[in-house]
Amino acid sequence: MKAPDPEPADRPRFLDAGEAALVVEFGAAVDPAINDRVLALDAALGADPPLGLAETVPTYRSLMIHYDPLVLSRAALVAAVEGRLAERGAARGAGRLWTIPCCYDPALAEDIAEAASLAGLAVADAAAFHAGALYRVYMYGFAPGFAYLGGLPEALALPRRSSPRAPHPPGAVMIGGGLAAIGTMPMPTGWYVLGRTPERLFAPERDPAFLIESGDTLRFEPVSADTFAGLERRAASGEVVAGRAA
């Protein structure tokens, strides 16, 4: 009995999640190189999906492939995956770079004083550290449009709360467990609310409903509470207020 290999192997592991989902596992850790391989395979399958592939879910370290086993056999799916891996190697297209407005005013950043204190920082420094970093969108999960971000500065690496706080506000920009996140709809959370963005990562009535793809890069641009209020009105009317490059 041994623990799964924490190092990325050359050949991924193929793990069945029932008869209609296959996990292609590239590693066991939160690691940009592993995530690159996940996203490269995801892109290759998305560009030319085998008949019977239903949808794919990229995560930090694996790609879950949902499929119809009465149309696509497991063996044919594994062969298709291995074929894509052989063609494309570990390369993936560069993601887009987004500038996400974020207000760190304690009136909106409900937990910034608490988080700064736990990290041994002044509130202004906590905001500056957070806004000074570049973040990779590793994956979505937990709730619609809830994005898990890597790249949080060490100075802000706090464990998650031992018990959840009250539901976070919409657009909460959060930290916890050494990661950052952007929340959409209010949910109880073990993370700390460090700021708020007027941008909506998920807006079901907007086209596109989801702005940002796994593998994109984000930076946060500090805005005042007044600017936040104006941007929030524009976002509510369907406008995209985040900036996008590349």
The site that binds other proteins (CB under 8 A) totals a number of residues, namely 46
- Find all residues with CB under 8 Å of 144, minimum gap 6, and list them: 184, 185, 202, 204
Decide if residue 216 touches other proteins (CB under 8 A): no
Q: What are the φ/ψ torsions at residue 100 (nearest 5 degrees)?
A: -105, 115
Mapped onto helix, strand or coil, the DSSP state of residue 230 is helix
Select the residue interacting with other proteins from 62, 189, 197, 217 (CB under 8 A). Answer: 62
Decide if residue 217 touches other proteins (CB under 8 A): no
Residue 195: closest CA among 166, 174, 225, 219: 174
* Half-sphere exposure at residue 141, Cβ-oriented, CA atoms within 13 angstroms: 10
Decide if residue 240 touches other proteins (CB under 8 A): no
Strand stretches in the chain, DSSP E: 13-16, 21-25, 53-58, 62-67, 97-103, 135-140, 147-150, 172-176, 179-182, 192-196, 217-223, 243-245
Q: Which CB, 3 or 245, lies closer to other proteins?
A: 3
Q: What sign for the dihedral angle of Cα 197, 198, 202, 208? A: negative
Instruction: Provide the residue type at 166 as one letter.
Output: A
Decide if residue 98 touches other proteins (CB under 8 A): no
Decide if residue 61 touches other proteins (CB under 8 A): yes
Q: Which CB, 4 or 243, lies closer to other proteins?
A: 4
Decide if residue 153 touches other proteins (CB under 8 A): no
Select the residue interacting with other proteins from 8, 12, 101, 145 (CB under 8 A). Answer: 145
**Whole-number Cα distances in Å, 244 to 15, 92, 96, 195, 216:** 37, 19, 7, 20, 10
Rg (CA), the chain: 19
Shortest Å distance, C-beta 100 to other proteins? 17
Select the residue interacting with other proteins from 41, 53, 64, 194 (CB under 8 A). Answer: 64
Q: Which CB, 198 or 215, lies closer to other proteins?
A: 215
Residue 174: closest CA among 79, 243, 110, 85: 110
Whether cis (ω within 30° of 0) applies to the bond prior to 208 is yes
Decide if residue 229 touches other proteins (CB under 8 A): no
Decide if residue 206 touches other proteins (CB under 8 A): no
Mark 21-60 with x for binding to other proteins (rule: CB under 8 A) and - for no binding: x-x-x--xxx-----------------------xxxxxxx
Shortest Å distance, C-beta 1 to other proteins? 5
Q: Which CB, 107 or 162, lies closer to other proteins?
A: 162
Summarize as ranges the residues that interact with other proteins (CB under 8 A). Answer: 1-4, 15-21, 23, 25, 28-30, 54-64, 66, 69-70, 74, 139-146, 148, 185, 202, 204, 209-210, 214
